[in-house]
Structure 1
Amino acid sequence: MVNSDDFSKRLQKILEYYDLSAAAFSDAIDVGRSSISHILSGRNKPSLDFVLKVIQTYPEVELYWLLNGKGSFPNTPGKTQTPEKQTKQASSTSPAQTVSDDLPAKTSFSENSDKSSADKKIRKIVIFYQDGTFEAFEN
């Protein structure tokens, strides 16, 4: 779980490093100014969308440092990331594409599967869109 007070201190460090006001930062990552204010004050915790926008817009910000305070800021390439990860970050993909690239692909269902899978019932389906939004359908 992310500690709101510690997260807000790390966010403040990012603002100071880039010499940005909260308003300029919110415009740069395309979030509402009140969101920044609420996170900086510790009132709200950051959303996944917020965190993804920060690390996409500012590649020097390391995800684990931002969330947990572990690692370093500014991130020095090669020190904490493998070359494969750096290549993926450098490509221009949406957060949804980046996440899906790291997940194993599920093959299509075969009717010849063992009978135990025929007894399984679907409990929940989650659809992730490229714009970072999602829909969940539960049975």
Structure 2
Amino acid sequence: MNLSDKIELLIKKKQMSSSQFADVLGIPRSSISHILSGRNKPSLDVVQKILTAFPEVSAEDLLFEDRTLSVLATKLPTTPSAQEILPLTNLFDAPNDTASESIKNNLPESTIVRSNLRRSTKEVNLGSSQTSNDSILENVPT
């Protein structure tokens, strides 16, 4: 069995189309088509990509004509269904009963900003160049 036949057998055992096989290897689909039709022989690059993508395939089994290709049939993983994805779409959504601080406390936004500014200016001590709270608060819109 030659290398092209072994590649065709590998594709069948993996239950893939030749296009899927080319995509997995990262090579043009036409390259696989030409290999399977016998027009071209696989390059060393293609063989290396096969061995990398399918580590269960031994280089000896793939390359030597007197060896048979022993590969277990495994399907490609399928994409998850919409039912599997849907619960994940709400993963980072906030619960509906939470509201912003201004809504919870029934306070206008400017009051909260003023409160936070007062708190931050008390925490920051700039030594001799202290800025008064009033000068900072004058610039806050009401």
**Higher share of residues assigned helix:** 2
What TM-score results when the alignment is normalised by the length of structure 2?
0.46
Whose radius of gyration is greater, 1 or 2?
2
